[in-house]
Amino acid sequence: MNRYEGLNQAIVDQFAPRPGRQALLPELSEKAQVALMCRMLFREGWSEHIAGHITWRLPNGNILTNPWELSWDELTAKDIMTLDEKGKVIDGEWNITPAIGLHIQLHALRPEINVVIHNHAHWSGIWANLQKVPPIYDQAGAYCGEKLPIYNEYTGTFEDEHSTLSAAEALGESKWALLANHGSLVVGENLRQAHLRVITLEWRSKRAWEAEVAGGAQPLPPEEVEKLSRIDDNGFPFCWEAMARRELRADPNLVNDD
């Protein structure tokens, strides 16, 4: 990943370190970036055993994804699988989830979406089971806007082609969704944007649940949420790198391709 790939250049010009400063991350292969993403999001609560899948469509049309057999906190760069645009394995030593069809459908329906992430997340999963949209109570919960659809036509898991197409079409132009009695879904143009959306959704859901347990509170007004949500298009400066460095400190070998 380039030093500031995916960031709005105006933000970089205003806040970036002066030329000559140390790079925020070492050079990382594309597979290493997916492995890092899995580790980072596992720590955020997207961690239901071996459930969940991340896909990242590359400029050449190939798609990187995590293997079926491994949990997100144990896989490394060498475990990441490469698929063609139809979901056929072209590189890798593992299997892929039968539910990969949801991702393939989303990538096909929305050319601007290069990253698709699904898991049975902790905090947003509570709201998915309640079939309610969590209110926004603070700044960190507002970074990616207020609209959060609930896909509530539960038909089981996502192995069936018709159910995956239905879910993909129901998402429409949304950036994320709660899947009723199932889990959470986030899409993005790049890894940085998708990461911000996941961590914002989980933070928003966690704070909303805590407020509910505490007896309720006053959500942020929609106009304030709109002001804060503008950051979503630009990425949060340096957040992806900071969370990636945390995982590299814990396991420097996770990015090794061999």
CATH of the domain at 107: 3.40.225.10
Residue 243 lies inside a defined structural domain of this protein: yes
pLDDT greater than 90 at residue 130: yes
Give strand pairing partners of 186: 117, 176
**In percent, how much of the chain has pLDDT > 70?**
85
Residue 213 belongs to a domain: yes
Whether residue 172 is contained in a domain is answered as yes
Phi, psi of 194 (to 5 degrees): -65, -40
For residue 10, being part of any structural domain is answered with no
State what percent of residues in the chain have pLDDT above 90.
74
Range of the domain at 247: 29-152+161-255
pLDDT band for position 35 (cuts 50, 70, 90): very high
Domain contains 14: no
Higher per-residue confidence, 19 vs 244: 244
- CB contact at 8 A, 176 and 197: yes
CA distance 236 to 255: 23
Domain count, the chain: 1
Contact 67, 94 (CB under 8 A): yes
Q: Mean pLDDT across the stretch 72-93?
A: 97
Amino acid letter for position 150:
I
Distance (Å) of CA 80 to CA 54, 184, 191: 10, 22, 15
Cα distance from N-terminal residue to C-terminal residue, the chain: 19
User: Kind of pairing, strands 53-57 and 89-91?
Assistant: unpaired
d(CA 76, CA 71): 10
Q: How many CA atoms lie within 13 A of 100 on its CB side?
A: 23
Tens of pLDDT, residues 204-237: 999 999 999 999 999 999 999 999 998 887 678 7
Mean pLDDT of 164-177: 78
Partnered with residue 55 across adjacent β-strands are: 65, 116
Specify if 211 maps to a domain: yes
13 part of a folded domain: no
In a domain, 17, yes or no: no
Residues ≥6 apart with Cβ < 8 Å to 175: 144, 145, 186, 187, 188, 197, 232
